[in-house]
Structure 1
Amino acid sequence: NLHGFLVSERTISLNPKMTTFADNFWGPKNNGFFALNHNMKHGYTSTKELIDFLRESCTAQENYSKLLSKLAKLAASTPQVGTFGPIWNILKTLTEKLSSLQMHLVHT
C-alpha cells in the first residue's frame, strides 16, 4: 500500500475492485446506450462540418497564394530606380517564394 494506492506487481489501482465496461458504460436505466446512439447520430454531421471547414481553409490558403503571386508581379513591374531598387528586388523575390511555399502547402 503506497499512499492510498493499491500496488501489485502488474497494476496500480485506486480501487481494488475490478472495473468492467458493463458496470461503467450502461449506467442507471441504460443511459449509456442513449449516449452512444446520440454520438453515432451526430458523428456524421460533425465529420461533414470538419470536412467543410478544411475545404474552406484550403480555398483561403490558395487565394492567399495567388494574391502573393500578384504582389510579386507588381514588385517586378515597379521601376527599380534610386536607393529603393534593391528593396523592390528583395520584395519581389520574397513574395515569389512565399507564394510558391503557400501553394505547395495547399497541395500537400
Structure 2
Amino acid sequence: MKVEVSRTAQISLEEIIDFLKINWTKKEINTLKVYIKNFRQVIKDGIIQYQSLENYTNIRFTLIGKKQVKLFYEIKKDLVIIKLFWHCKQNPNKLMTILNQK
C-alpha cells in the first residue's frame, strides 16, 4: 500500500517539531520520527487498521510519540493519505475546524 503525506500534514508536523524542540530533548524528537516511520511501515504492510472518528468514518487515527501526538489518515483503495499531525494539548475545537475544511 502506498503512503502519501498531505501538505497540511507536513506543515502540522513541522509546527509540532518546532514546539517539541522547546519542551522535549533531541532524543525524544528522534523517537517520534521513528514512531512515524514504524506507522508508515505497518500501514504499507496492511497489518493494522486503527479506529475511525465518529463523525468522519473515512478518517482514522493513531496516537504516536509518547501518546501526545495523533496522526490522522485516510485510506483510499491502495493509497493511505496522512492528513494531519495533531498535538493533543491543542484546542480540540481547532481540530474540528481543520477536519471540516477537508
Structure number with higher strand proportion = 2
Structure number with higher helix proportion = 1
Per the TM superposition, whether the score is higher than 0.5 is no
- Taking structure 2 as the reference length, the TM-score comes to 0.29
Higher relative contact order (CA 8 A, sep 6+): 2
Give the structure with higher Rg (CA).
Answer: 1
